[in-house]
Amino acid sequence: MSAQQAQTPLRIGVVSHDCFWPLKGGGGIRVYWVTKAMIQRQHDISVIAPVQKKAEAEEEFGPIPVLSAGKLTRFVRFKEIKYIGLMVRIFLKLLCKRFDVLYAHNAVAGLPTILISKLKKIPVVFDFDDLLTGYSKISFVYRFGPKMERWVAKRAHLTIVNSSVVQQWCRDHGIHRTVIIRHGVDLSRFKAAERERKYITFTGGMEVNDGVLLIPQAAQEVLKEFPDEMFMMVGDGKDKENLRQRVEALGLTHSFVLKGWMDQRKIPGILAESKIGLITMLKVSATELSTRLSSYEYMASGVPFVTSDLDCSQEQVLESNAGIPFENGNPQSLAQRILELLRNKDLWKRLSQNGLRYVKEHADWRQNARAICLVCEKVALEEKID
């Protein structure tokens, strides 16, 4: 896109099911950076998403319209039912404004956005970085939800994915207008600081599919050889209390620090004191297609990671050479991989350096979010020409 074309302001609707402010989860962070990039390129932005603290959001982003779709977060009971109400509210908010292009992050935002697109003839860029319905414990949603998500992706003018695994999945399901734009990290905040590295750390959601209950079992084996190691758990979700109970039942309270959910701005400090990062996803259809934002934050902090051997995670390991996989769902395998890094300082150092190199070359949020913005500009321009 030429510089002249980029100077023409577009009316862009940024649509998300994740809480827009405060940030909770990798999806919300992705939307945060995309919104920042669009503002920097002087577009007329309206955000349609759940917002818990609207005044703080407007203070962070400036005087952009934030059309709150409620205060819903993903850490709620009966989430699927509440998402239906959220989709209705998103549809009504979109109905009231005019846009040149719509950017929709994930399927809960994507479905009402596609309906508005058909009704008002507006192009849609669909950011498909997660198969949301593939996490559901409701069998009907788990079975038929992916059909809805594929329907949305097929009808978008362009679908953004964040891995070649997801791009191939799209092709296998007849979705051919795709582009890969990966997750990123704020390189000005996440750094390999010269501090004592004390923790084996997990950051992220603590839902059932996140596999956090594997960690206390693995810790038992690790602590036999390295009794002074400490495990740091940072996150929220329905398995948080189960995790606490498991730690207590195994008599590991003295070896675990359970932080719960923390403001995203505090995560760099936690990782600066961490020696190993953990990603323990269990195998369901969604996790096979999920690349965790935490892997980028680990790498940017110089922290080698141990991750489940699922498709997207394996791709991340092969691309970055900054982590090692374990057999998903197997706490003994997880323990052996942690021990491998604790025993082998040369391996730890090599993976740490590889991760730092990888994020600098491929995962700067400012560059990746700008790439998403340029995609939206290109789609809007092509639609005007047509």
The domain that holds 89 is classified in CATH as 3.40.50.2000
CA distances from 50 to 11, 62, 67, 120 (A): 20, 18, 8, 23
Mark whether 206 and 310 lie in a shared domain.
yes
Inter-residue contact 106 to 74 (CB < 8 Å): no
Can you tell me the distance from the alpha carbon of 243 to that of 173, in angstroms, rounded to the nearest whole number?
A: 37
Mark whether 372 and 335 lie in a shared domain.
no
Residue 31 domain flag: yes
Q: What does the DSSP 8-state code read for residue 78?
A: T
pLDDT at 75: 66
Phi, psi values for residue 35, rounded to 5°: -60, -45
DSSP 3-state percent helix, strand, coil across the chain (nearest 5):
50, 15, 35
Q: What digits encode the pLDDT tens for the residues 86-143?
A: 999 999 999 989 999 999 999 999 999 999 999 999 999 999 988 888 888 889 888 9
Mark whether 247 and 113 lie in a shared domain.
no
**Cα 350 to chain center, whole Å?**
26
Mark whether 39 and 129 lie in a shared domain.
yes
Mark whether 75 and 221 lie in a shared domain.
no
Inter-residue contact 268 to 277 (CB < 8 Å): no
Query: What's the total number of domains in the chain?
Result: 2
| Ranges of the chain whose pLDDT falls below 70 | 1-7, 75-76, 384-386
Tell me which residue of 202, 282, 279, 192 sits closest to 234, measured CA to CA.
202
pLDDT at 63: 83
pLDDT at 136: 85
Mark whether 218 and 241 lie in a shared domain.
yes
Residue 192 domain flag: no
Which amino acid is residue 237, in one-letter code?
Answer: G
Residue 190 domain flag: no
Mark whether 29 and 99 lie in a shared domain.
yes
Mark whether 92 and 222 lie in a shared domain.
no
Give the list of residues 6+ apart from residue 288 with CB closer than 8 angstroms, or none: 134, 165, 310, 311, 312
Domain that holds residue 303: 199-362
One-character DSSP codes across 18-45: S-TTTT-SHHHHHHHHHHHHHHHTT-EE
One-character DSSP codes across 169-208: HHHHTT---EEE----B-TTT----SS---EEEEES--SG
Inter-residue contact 158 to 126 (CB < 8 Å): yes
Mark whether 136 and 25 lie in a shared domain.
yes
Residue 304 domain flag: yes
Mark whether 140 and 166 lie in a shared domain.
yes
Mark whether 325 and 370 lie in a shared domain.
no
